[in-house]
């Protein structure tokens, strides 16, 4: 198949990213301090949890752009329900909302067979509207953040490790098992690799796709709980643009946008690398929008490397 000894584009990319990281560590003071690493990991855990779910959708050869506004919606719901009903509602309802939205996305893409990019782009603005209507355009916050156990999820520590990081690792382990060791996981790869062939192999491609979207939605609901518990407040556009960050992390890790190739481990690498790069940019003191320029270059570079390695030529 592939000659051994010649590095794949993915390995080169990871090597390049590690090189960037080491240069960053050498030039940016404090980048690799224990405190900064824990803080950085805590920050990326929300993106990371969402990226785990999106990985399933991308491996199945589709996209889910709803995650950003779904996070906004679930976060404002969690925050408002916390004070109005109870903290228990704040940790259950968002997951249910995520699941329902995942089902709607699954219905649009898997059952109606719509273009996943445009369909989830449409859902993105629908969810944005729902979040706005839910809050009447206001921002939501929890009145007494110090007096509730809800704060533990996002702010707590266990043995010096932030709880969000532990949640991220736990979910990563679960999704890695689901994707790597179960029949469903293999079916996801086969649907993404060649949908028609998978159908001829009597795989229920529609159900597999539908389930991928359900996983993505549910994990986004969970991420929203971690997010709102950390911030103890939510704007109705908290997650705006997050879908692109998540997507860049997933493809930076080396999951192919063409579908059929990827993994949870790769996504974790992508999320951590992206987190370090953004963190380093902030530590240098560059304004936040410089990150966008970096994302521009990184996303195109990564996808290019992916496409080029598969076609065996650098240029089209």
Binding site for other proteins (CB under 8 A): 108, 112-115, 117-119, 121-130, 132-133, 136-137, 241, 244, 247-248, 257, 287, 289-293, 295-297, 299-300, 303-304, 307-308, 311, 315-316
Cα–Cα distance list, 68 to 164, 218, 223, 224 (Å) = 18, 13, 11, 10
Answer for the pair 50, 219: CB distance below 8 angstroms, yes or no: yes
* Closer CB to other proteins, 177 or 293, in the complex: 293
Answer for the pair 245, 47: CB distance below 8 angstroms, yes or no: yes
Q: How far is the CB of 100 from other proteins (least distance, A)?
A: 16
**Residues 6+ away with beta carbon under 8 Å from 123:** 65, 66, 101, 104, 105, 108
* Closer CB to other proteins, 175 or 216, in the complex: 216
Q: How far is the CB of 268 from other proteins (least distance, A)?
A: 22
Q: How far is the CB of 243 from other proteins (least distance, A)?
A: 10
* Closer CB to other proteins, 5 or 287, in the complex: 287
User: H or E stretch including 158?
Assistant: strand 157-158
26-34 CB contacts, 8 Å cutoff, 24+ apart: 28/280, 28/283, 28/284, 29/283, 30/283, 31/276, 31/279, 31/280, 31/283
* Closer CB to other proteins, 36 or 291, in the complex: 291
Q: How far is the CB of 74 from other proteins (least distance, A)?
A: 17
**Residues 6+ away with beta carbon under 8 Å from 222:** 49, 94, 95, 98, 167, 171
Kindly give the interhelix angle for 290-311 and 264-284, rounded to the nearest 10 degrees.
150
* Closer CB to other proteins, 178 or 299, in the complex: 299
Q: How far is the CB of 93 from other proteins (least distance, A)?
A: 20
* Closer CB to other proteins, 12 or 173, in the complex: 12
Q: How far is the CB of 236 from other proteins (least distance, A)?
A: 9
Q: How far is the CB of 273 from other proteins (least distance, A)?
A: 17
The sign of the CA dihedral 92, 249, 34, 231 is negative
* Closer CB to other proteins, 126 or 166, in the complex: 126
């Amino acid at each position: 198949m592939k000659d051994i000894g010649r590095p794949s584009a993915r390995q080169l990319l990871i090597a390049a990213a590690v090189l960037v990281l080491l240069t960053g560590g050498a030039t940016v003071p404090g980048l690799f301090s224990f405190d900064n690493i824990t803080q950085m990991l805590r920050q990326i855990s929300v993106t990371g949890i969402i990226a785990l779910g999106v990985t399933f959708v991308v491996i199945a050869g589709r996209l889910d752009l709803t995650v950003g506004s779904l996070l906004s919606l679930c976060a404002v719901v969690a925050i408002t329900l916390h004070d109005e009903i109870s903290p228990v509602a704040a940790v259950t309802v968002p997951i249910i909302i995520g699941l329902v939205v995942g089902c709607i996305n699954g219905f649009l893409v898997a059952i109606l067979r719509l273009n996943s990019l445009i369909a989830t782009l449409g859902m993105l603005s629908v969810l944005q509207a729902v979040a706005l209507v839910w809050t009447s355009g206001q921002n939501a916050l929890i009145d007494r953040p110090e007096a509730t156990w809800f704060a533990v999820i996002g702010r707590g520590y266990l043995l010096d490790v932030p709880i969000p990081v532990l949640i991220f690792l736990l979910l990563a382990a679960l999704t890695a098992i689901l994707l790597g060791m179960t029949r469903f996981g293999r079916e996801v790869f086969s649907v993404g690799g060649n949908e028609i062939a998978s159908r001829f192999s009597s795989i229920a491609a529609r159900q597999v796709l539908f389930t991928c979207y359900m996983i993505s939605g549910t994990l986004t609901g969970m991420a929203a709980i971690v997010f709102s518990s950390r911030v103890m407040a939510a704007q109705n556009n908290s997650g705006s643009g997050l879908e692109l960050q998540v997507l860049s992390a997933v493809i930076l890790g080396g999951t192919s946008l063409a579908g059929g190739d990827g993994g949870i481990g790769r996504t974790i690498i992508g999320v951590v690398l992206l987190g370090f790069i953004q963190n380093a940019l902030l530590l240098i003191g560059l304004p936040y929008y410089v990150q966008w320029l970096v994302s521009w270059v990184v996303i195109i570079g990564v996808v290019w490397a992916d496409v080029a390695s598969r076609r065996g030529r650098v240029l089209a």
